[in-house]
């Protein structure tokens, strides 16, 4: 028997978790939309955001011991600078190269980021400062509550998805990015600086992803290397929504978050479980969903269907 109040509470948690995934997923989708690159370092870039706060605030890591709010701002700046440097120093060299080469580069970058963070902060979980572990929550009907990290995630993800939609639709820079995404060669003929548009895309993407990583760490109470596994989960989200659709990435992330939370609560054989598939099934369920989506709708809900004429 399913209790309605419990179901609503789990649904709220799923929406909150999906909102955190959405920040990382929208960064992934933005990169693909503009450059056509599947960035498989996205999970590690979220990890950079999560551990950036620790590196800047914890006196035991590199000895800075900065206030929490300063660490947060510096982590966002780090995301912006990292996006700029990655495009200028590394990825620009692969413009016009086979897409598989760029994918391999992103995999290599992911390994570098993960290894560097392990070197700086160690492999163990590190708790966040008290200021970044707020104990407030948002009260909802039926006795449900949404934690501070989830509430902030919902708010920020909504702001980001609306801002990106407005940016792409109503600004000159957004129109240039859309033109570049549709046909890079035609855009270059019209005088569009492809290099500049790609820099903007990477910069915005990694900044958003870093914020998502910070909020995922806030939800867990601190930074841990399990966060990098989010890269696989958000891939399921963006495939469902459509690889080149930012709103689709947002919707797909909410669906994946709901599947994970509902699957964990009802299908892992706990006290309230309906079916016993064993521990960890909630995290596997989004991947099963991914396989189903690829078979039934390979372009997702809002993705652009590409037709090649021979």
- Render the burial of 29-53: b for 16+ CB within 10 Å, e for the rest: bbbbbbbebbbbbbbbbbbbbbbbb
Mean pLDDT, rounded, for 142-171: 89
Give the highest mean pLDDT range of 91-95, 96-100, 106-110, 259-263: 106-110
What is the average pLDDT value for the chain, to the nearest integer?
A: 82
pTM: 0.88
Question: In the prediction, which pLDDT does 18 show?
Answer: 92
% of the chain beyond a pLDDT of 90: 23
Q: Look at residue 64 in the predicted model and tell me its pLDDT.
A: 74
What is the structure's pLDDT at 68?
A: 86
- pLDDT per position as a tens digit, 258-271: 988 888 888 766 55
Domains of the chain: 4-296 (1.10.3470)
Cα angle 28-253-83, degrees, rounded to a multiple of 5: 20
């Amino acid at each position: 028997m399913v209790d309605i109040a419990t179901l609503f509470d789990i649904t709220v948690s799923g929406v909150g978790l999906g909102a955190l995934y959405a920040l990382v997923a929208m960064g992934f989708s933005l990169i693909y939309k503009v450059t056509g690159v599947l960035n498989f370092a996205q999970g590690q870039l979220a990890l950079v955001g999560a551990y950036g706060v620790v590196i800047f605030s914890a006196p035991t890591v590199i000895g800075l011991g900065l206030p929490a709010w300063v660490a947060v701002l510096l982590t966002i700046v780090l995301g912006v600078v990292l996006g700029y440097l990655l495009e200028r120093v590394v990825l620009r060299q692969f413009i016009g190269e086979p897409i598989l080469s760029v994918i391999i580069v992103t995999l290599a970058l992911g390994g570098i980021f993960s290894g560097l963070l392990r070197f700086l902060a160690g492999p163990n979980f590190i708790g966040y400062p008290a200021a970044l572990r707020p104990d407030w929550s948002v009260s909802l009907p039926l006795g449900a509550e949404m934690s501070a990290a989830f509430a902030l995630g919902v708010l920020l993800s909504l702001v980001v998805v609306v801002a990106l939609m407005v940016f792409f639709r109503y600004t000159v820079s957004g129109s240039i990015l859309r033109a570049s995404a549709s046909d890079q060669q035609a855009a270059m003929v019209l005088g569009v600086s492809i290099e500049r548009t790609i820099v903007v895309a990477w910069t915005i993407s990694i900044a958003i992803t870093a914020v998502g990583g910070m909020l995922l760490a806030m939800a867990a109470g601190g930074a841990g290397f399990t966060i990098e596994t989010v890269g696989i989960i958000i891939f399921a989200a963006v495939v469902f929504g459509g690889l080149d659709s930012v709103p689709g990435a947002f919707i797909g992330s909410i669906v994946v978050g709901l599947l994970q939370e509902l699957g964990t609560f009802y299908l892992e054989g706990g006290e309230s479980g309906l079916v016993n598939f064993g521990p960890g099934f909630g995290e596997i369920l989004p991947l099963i969903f991914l396989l189903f989506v690829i078979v039934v709708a390979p372009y997702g809900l809002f993705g652009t269907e590409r037709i090649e004429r021979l």
